[in-house]
Structure 1
Amino acid sequence: MYFSSILAATALSFLIVSASVIPVPPSRRAEDDAPVMNIDFADPSILEDDEGNWYAFGTTGNGKHIQVAKADCIYGNWSLLDDVDALPQYASWSTGSNTWAPDVHQLSDGSFVMYYSGEVADNPSHHCIGTATSDTITGPYIPEEEPFACNLTVGGAIDASGFEDDDGTRYVVYKVDGNSIGHGGSCGNTVQPIVPTPIMLQEVESDGVTKVGDAVQILDRTEDDGPYVEAPSLIRTEKGMYILFFSSGCYLEPSYNVNYATSMSVSGPYTRAKQPLLRTGEYGLQAPGGATAVHVRDKIGVVYHANCQEGRCMHTSPTDIDGRDVDVVI
């Protein structure tokens, strides 16, 4: 089956035809590349509430275990909610410190589930994925006492992101954190033998937490990725294409980027783009990564972070979907 879908990035646009990628000239103003908040707000995810307000959730910072910001639209003026810590409590398996990459989704019963990467109490050099629930979007979220994914023999697990398919089936994508048991080099995993860092797809029940079957691998690092692939985020276009956003390179270095791969099946195989969607040097961005994609009515929006004076600042913008092509602007 042949169809076309346009992915337009902050720095570059792509035309995807049957999962092949052809560069298209960009069209973007440099002044649009400023962060939406001049604070340290890494690994952001975003969610719209029933009243049209947008909320962003970020990694530990600014005195919060999980930060929350709010705006009236995805590309609007974002404000940190100073009096809100979305995850004030922590599970017994976690230290409660250094909590990464929160991702929040609303369930069919109106409640909310958060996926997060928690530092392991028995071995703080590793993280595992936890889940927490709340009746309100800003929390407080109450953590489950058992981690969702936590196999320390392969390095633990991080960067979980929820996804609901068109038929209502729910999934969680996450990274096996193999570089945490790597043998040195860039981000701990460029000295042989290289440890795998696969991205996994786990089906879950309607509660967003209970697993259905076993997780399946949908992507892994290649030599071009450097130490790892991480920060997966999955979305489905109107044409039935699944787009898996991810980061590669090392987050501590200019090599960090926003990348993506596509498939006509949620479980793959996924075909990688020929080049990253965003990388250092394009439009003044430094080490962009951690992208999360969401549907915004007739649009698709993507939020990500990039290095800034304050740490890692959040960037986001929307784009139109014209019914024939799908534009994604980040």
Structure 2
Amino acid sequence: MTQAPGQRPAPRSARRPRARRWRATAVATGALLAALIAEPLPPAGAVADHTPHKDPHTAAATYTNPVTAGVVDTFPDPSILRGKDGYWYAYGTQNPVFQSSGEDGEHILPILRSADMVHWTYAGDVFTPQTEPAWENGSRLWAPDIRYTDGHYNLFYAVSAQNTFAVATAPTPTGPWTDQGAVLPSPSGCPTNNIDEAQFTDQGGTPYMYWGSYDTLCVAQMNGDRTRTVGAVTQVARGRRMEGAFVVRRGDFYYLFYSDAGCCDGAYSGYQVKVGRATSPTGPFTDAQGVDLMELTSKGSVVAGANGNRWIGPGHNAIQTDLSGQDWLVYHAIPSDDPDLKPASGGTLKLSRRPMLIDRLDWIDGWPVLRAGAGPSDTPQTAPVASWTAGGTFNDGSLSGWHTAGAHAAPWTLATGQDTGPYAVHTGGASTPAFLVTDGRAPADLRAEADLRVTSTGGRAGLVVDYRNPSNYVVAWLDHDRNALVTDVVEDGRSAGEQSTPLPGGFQWEAWRNVAVEIRGTRMTTEVSADRLGDAVATQTRDLPASAARAGAVGTAALGGETAADNVGAAALYTPVTTRVPEPRPGALLPAYSDDFDTATVPGTTADSPWTWVRGPASGVAVTGSALSWPTQGAELYTNTNTASVLTRPAPSGDYTVETKIEFAPAKSNQQAGIALYENDDRYFKLAHSVLPLNNGGGALLNVTEFGKEGERPTTTPPTAVAYAPMFGGPTADTMWMRLRYHADTVHNESEVTASTSRDGRSWVSSGTWTLPRQGPLRIALFSMNTAGAVAQFDYVHTYGG
């Protein structure tokens, strides 16, 4: 059977090689590390040194992607968290990250550190060739996911050749790491490649694990220490090359982020970030079009896709929140001007260059989207808020800028932890709140947070906001005796009424917990989480009296038993973006480049027809009922196999949009039909309704919107004469509307083509943008091919200006 373009996934050796470990054959010299590391950091496996030093949190006004430029050459599949020392840490897939500095080998799960999410330094590796667990048998290690769990860090990572993923634990974000073995049983219970894992903890404390790749995503509960999955496995999503799950909870919904299409094919990587949401962590998840992620079709709700600038294949994301409460998508993408790393490990390892990017994640009408829909950025952008208006990390080893207040039996002092560095301690005994608050004030609309710990029974540790004096403040307590999050508003010494939200059973009070408060107007939202990663175990909302929603100091409070606090501060609350960037609309209809197929003559068969055939007319093609009827051919249009008929006509000069309405109900694998912008058999952009097999799907077939490009690939060694790759767009239907929007990028001498589809002719889903260097003219084209047995009916072809 002839296979359809898009059916051929890149072999695993080309995507993420599964061969034996290619060990680093060169080690960075001291001079190299000195140049790479602006601030001394521990080597791989070492314990972090928390000698008191200056608080690092100074604001960066702007940044330009990639944020890892000049630090590492590549950093795929990034995961990120804010450590208890106040720094952000990022973890990446095993890759040759210092190739440009002369290294030929790879670093095993490299670590970066930053004070602001913009300026990063190399902080070592999770494993070295000597410390990697022996049971992994030299497998390459991918896709790390980092979490803070009950006083230590859990790093989950895929063990490629073993078709599983494992967990290592450490007392600090940089190690030393202790192997805890494979997380999954064997068999796993999920019909997929068992990689690309991400942990999530639900309200009430139940932990889950999501994982999967090529083409199914699954979820299962975890044991209490989050080292093994337990119980039933639930499939939550299916789609062509789905992988890279990451889940957060926001409001009443759980959001499942994932990527599809090809992650690692250089300039032909069709990777995108998409999302579905559900009211349960086990689904069902649906996209914004209401399509269940388990349906056998491609999905909409694109969060981040290629937009025609230098970034190709944006995907495999994590999410991080800055100090103002603004969310950021953390992801990798491939630079179009330098998409491929040099062959490494003696020339046997060939990988795409995938540096780390960050961009603002907006939530509009209940759905997340990158930069209001503008996509990945390649120009200077406003940086994350990484410094507080009031507050600090105590990392300078003093209480300068803070003062105490309230009647209490013991003073506030500083202690030092292996993970945290210096932090504030109150040894207990206070029968009324003992405050440690900032000298400066934070604004009324704010995000405040603190890492809190209660180390004895009968204690309360609090985050205090809107503080004026011991008789006027707002507080969020972690109450040990009540095992609850308790908030209170105190005015003129009188409580407005405590509000209590239970904390999970078995809550580990000895571990640090992040308490975050956001106040917008008079609405106050409080969350308790382990590590600020969108999976709070307790959330509470309440309305404040208008008189209490005011500018004031921020700080911590202690009541009863011994408590501790770190990373206490507040910043002005972010201003949400509420309107998407408008999609370009087609201009006026261009009748000279349009056809309603309202004559009985087959296009391209008369001398006066604007249409011409490549290898045609196709057998069985006819005009019936004001539609072009075209049976699918058992023929191909894919790299070096070019046997299918193509019906073409000239396209207008300048920018334009071409649209068709197609009725197509394929029933066999590899049947496809659609519209293209065609230069020749080896250079085109193609938008198709295609049928492709579901990997590991037991014969199940997927109907997909396949947006592909074919052209030369000169960056490979040796140059590839012709290559093809798809993106996957919105959901399909028997009747679909398809659009290709053409833009001539004269600055870069490129053709930019953006695809979109609709199931009703009104609501459109974009499939991203492909580019090719401009050479010859593109022509409007139709096709119906690959496997015989279906019929495509084209109702019209309309071309619009602009």
Fold in common (TM above 0.5): yes
The structural deviation recorded for 1:248 is: 0.4
Aligned mates of 2:87, 2:132 — CA distance in 1: 27
Note if 1:278 corresponds to 2:308. Answer: no
2:88 aligned residue (51, 54, 69): 54
Aligned mates of 1:327, 1:260 — CA distance in 2: 8
Distance 1:287 1:329, change over 3 A: closer
Aligned mates of 1:325, 1:215 — CA distance in 2: 28
Conserved? CA contact 2:303–2:369, under 8 Å: no
Note if 1:37 corresponds to 2:50. Answer: no
Which residue is 2:54 aligned to?
none
Which residue is 2:201 aligned to?
164
Aligned mates of 1:90, 1:148 — CA distance in 2: 19
The structural deviation recorded for 1:319 is: 5.5
Distance 1:271 1:140, change over 3 A: same
Q: Which moved more, 1:63-72 or 1:247-256?
A: 247-256
- CA-to-partner distance for each residue in 1:117-160, whole Å, 9 max, x for gaps? 1133xxxxx63211111111111322223453553894540001
Which residue is 1:315 aligned to?
357
Distance 1:148 1:132, change over 3 A: farther
Note if 1:300 corresponds to 2:327. Answer: yes
- CA-to-partner distance for each residue in 1:140-189, whole Å, 9 max, x for gaps? 322223453553894540001111223222111100x4x4xxxxxxxxxx
Conserved? CA contact 1:52–1:73, under 8 Å: no
Q: Which amino acid aligns with 1:72?
A: A
Distance 1:72 1:32, change over 3 A: closer
1:260 aligned residue (275, 299, 304): 275
Which residue is 2:404 aligned to?
none
Q: Which amino acid aligns with 2:187?
A: N
1:224-239 mapped onto 2 (5 Å cutoff): 226=240, 228-237=241-250, 239=251
Conserved? CA contact 1:300–1:327, under 8 Å: no
1:1-16 mapped onto 2 (5 Å cutoff): none
Q: Structure 2: any 5+ residue segments left out of the alignment?
A: 1-61, 98-105, 289-299, 342-352, 372-802
Which residue is 1:250 aligned to?
262
- State the identity as a percent: 25
1:106 aligned residue (140, 148, 156): 148
Aligned mates of 1:250, 1:202 — CA distance in 2: 26
1:87 aligned residue (127, 131, 136): 127
Aligned mates of 1:103, 1:91 — CA distance in 2: 18
The structural deviation recorded for 1:328 is: 6.2
The structural deviation recorded for 1:58 is: 0.1
Which residue is 1:116 aligned to?
157
- CA-to-partner distance for each residue in 1:13-71, whole Å, 9 max, x for gaps? xxxxxxxxxxxxxxxxxx96621012210000001012321000000022311110011
- The CA RMSD over aligned residues, in Å, is 2.7
Aligned residue pairs, count: 265
**2:197 match: secondary structure:** strand
Conserved? CA contact 1:242–1:265, under 8 Å: yes
Aligned mates of 2:186, 2:66 — CA distance in 1: 33
1:209 aligned residue (227, 230, 233): 227
2:114 aligned residue (49, 71, 75): 71
- CA-to-partner distance for each residue in 1:87-111, whole Å, 9 max, x for gaps? 3333333133421001110002x11
**1:265 match: secondary structure:** coil
2:179 aligned residue (143, 150, 154): 143
Higher strand share: 2
Which residue is 1:133 aligned to?
169
The structural deviation recorded for 1:116 is: 0.5
Larger Rg computed on CA atoms: 2
The structural deviation recorded for 1:234 is: 0.2
Distance 1:150 1:140, change over 3 A: farther
Aligned mates of 2:368, 2:242 — CA distance in 1: 24
Distance 1:242 1:35, change over 3 A: same
Which residue is 1:290 aligned to?
316
The structural deviation recorded for 1:327 is: 6.5
